[in-house]
Structure 1
Amino acid sequence: MSILITGASGTIGSLILQRLASANVELKALVRTPGKAVLPDGVTEVVGDMSSPKSMRAALSSVRTLFLLNAVTPDEVTQALMTLNLAKEAGIERIVYLSVIHADLYTNVPHFTGKHTVERMIESLELPATILRPAYFMQNDERIKSVIEGYGIYPMPIGEAGVEMIDVRDIADIAAAELLARHHTTHALPRRTLELVGPEILTGPVAAGVWGEELHREIHYGGDGLDGFEQQLAAYGPDWMAYDMRLMMGRIQTIGMHAAPGVVEVLEKMLGRPLRNYRDAVRDLLKQD
């Protein structure tokens, strides 16, 4: 019986595969296009589409443990709900679902409310699952590195309410640990939810300051304006996603992204080490030049 990783060609999914590849478990990676993803040795490629029940029934065959990650798409909720129903039909009782922090609070943000709907389904169907709720990814800032270096501006409008950004490598480490813990138990473990955050609270000016110190030059925060942010995103992707991201940034500016007290200590105990900080992530991004 295997562990199936969905979103296997994406940032989080590929990192999880890397971590599990040496764990002496049977691994399957769900991909939409055969031969496109670079997979670790020993990982079996499974071609499927979460919008197709026929292909997902085949993909979920002989699966003991499921990692469910949905890309932000217009039919994200449909894909997730169908996959979970099919997993239940297949008797899968070991699930790790990647949601988002404050899915229940960012009620006007489509992909947050979509993930909260999936969370409620997991609860209502009494599916044995770990729900992971990560905050904003540190590595999202890779997309704005050229702007920071070229114009001396940190343009991500995260405001000053504070965001406990998390490194994607820590997300993958925790997800892999949860998958293995569930996979190796005789009986399904109880359902639980984990908020995933980094060790510090970052604001727009603080993030700009970190970049400035690492680049040895002054970097200014670009401010909280959302019109330009949406326009820039829409220039390189679908306008519905640009608007979704605009709404998310509006909520980040209003209430921030903060875990409950004690969460950092819980995560560091799970990892057996400190969580990665933003400065180290920035240094790693700059090494990619």
Structure 2
Amino acid sequence: MTILVTGATGQVGAAILDRLHGADIRALTRDPARLGERDVVTAVQGDLTDPVSIEAALQGVDTLFLLTSVSPDEANQAMMAVNLAKAAGVRGIVYLSVSHAGRYVDTPHYASKHLVERMIWTAGLPATILRANYFMQNDLTAKDALLEGVFPQPIGEVGVAMVDVRDIADAAVAELLRRHQADASLPATLIEVCGPEVLTAADVAAIWTDALGLEVSPGSADLGAFEAGLRHRMPAWMAHDLARMFSGFQREGMVPAPQAAATMEQLIGHPLRRYRDFAQEAVASWRT
């Protein structure tokens, strides 16, 4: 039987494909050429807005990794994929959701993921919901500002347990293989995917100060100005969505349950990657 990975050319999907072995692997992508040289992966052309291509991709699949990118119709894409997976007889789903999905009610992509979670739970589907914290790798987009001495992400001072994309992929692979190798469908479960420490904007600025060898300060917490700046490099609807997310960070943070980090380390079989190590790796790559 086969595992189907959606979002295969994104940072999480690509990291999963790098790690996923011991199964027939199929990758759904709009552009198979973007998968690169992956001898053990079969590319399937299609996307989550097209039910015909999803139906074709799901034929013979027993386990599905479902990732939907931030978009105005994200909930529709995910719900359609789940419905078609159920109809195709898929007996295991790993769905990448987001931490605090039900609490950031004014953030569109969080609300979309929470709706899909409710669908999975209500239908009793055999799924693992991975509720991921803020990705460390998101901060790579702040390179120019960091080199000028500013950490511009307005994450606030409550704290966020940022997680490395590689640890997210390790958790996804562990759950995909657990469900794929089981003799029968397994019950639904929820896993909080977090980093090992809760960091504030000041904490992160201090880490970049050490990594870069120059003074880095937190940027402005003004979300109106932040959203206006985002509009220069992305659609206005996405800028608004992300500004709402950072509003949630400032209001209540993204602090995991007390045992979440320990549970994650048990699942992935190694210590969680620290933000300090991520920052040092990033700086080393910039300098080469």
Q: TM-score, length-normalised on structure 2?
A: 0.97
The aligned amino acid for 1:256 is G
Pick from 220, 235, 241 the counterpart of residue 244 of structure 1. 241
**Matches of 1:12 and 1:33 in 2, distance apart?**
17
Structure 1, gaps ≥5 residues long: none
Tell me the equivalent position of 2:14: 14
| Residue in 2 that maps onto 1:116 | 114
Partner of 2:182: 185
Q: Which amino acid aligns with 2:215?
A: E
Tell me the SS of whatever aligns to 2:270: coil
Is structure 2 residue 215 aligned with structure 1 residue 231? no
Q: What is the Cα deviation at residue 267 of structure 1? A: 1.0
Match of 1:155 in 2: 152
Aligned partners of 2:157, 2:34: CA distance in 1, in Å? 41
Letter in 2 for 1:197: C
Q: Give the letter for the 2:209 counterpart.
A: G
Which position in structure 2 is the counterpart of 1:141?
139
List, as ranges, runs of 4+ consecutive aligned residues in structure 1 with deviation greater than 6 Å: none
Query: Structure 1 CA distance, aligned partners of 2:27 and 2:105?
Result: 32
Per mean C-alpha deviation after superposition, the further-off stretch among 221-230 and 179-188 is 221-230
Structure 2 unmatched runs, 5+:
none
Instruction: State yes or no: 1:24 paired with 2:22.
Output: yes
Deviations 1:238-267 (Å, cap 9, x if unpaired)? Answer: 000000000110010000001111111111
Deviation at 1:39, TM superposition (A): 4.8
Amino acid of the structure 2 residue aligned with 1:201: V
From 170, 176, 193, the equivalent of 1:173 is: 170
Q: Distance in 1 between matches of 2:71 and 2:132?
A: 18
For these two proteins, the number of residue pairs brought into alignment is 286
Q: Distance in 2 between matches of 1:143 and 1:53?
A: 33
The match for 1:219 is 216
The amino acid of 1:226's aligned partner reads: L
Separation of aligned partners in 1, 2:113 and 2:24: 28
Q: CA RMSD in A?
A: 0.9
- Distance change (3 Å), C-alpha of 1:260 and 1:39: farther
> Deviations for 1:91-131, whole angstroms, at most 9, x for unmatched residues?
11100000000000001100000000000011111110000
Identity percentage of aligned residues = 48
Q: Secondary structure at the match of 1:99?
A: strand
In the alignment, what sits opposite 1:98? 96
Aligned amino acid, residue 42 of structure 1: V
Q: Whole-Å Cα distance in 1 between the matches of residues 198 and 36 of structure 2?
A: 35
1:2 aligns with 2:19: no
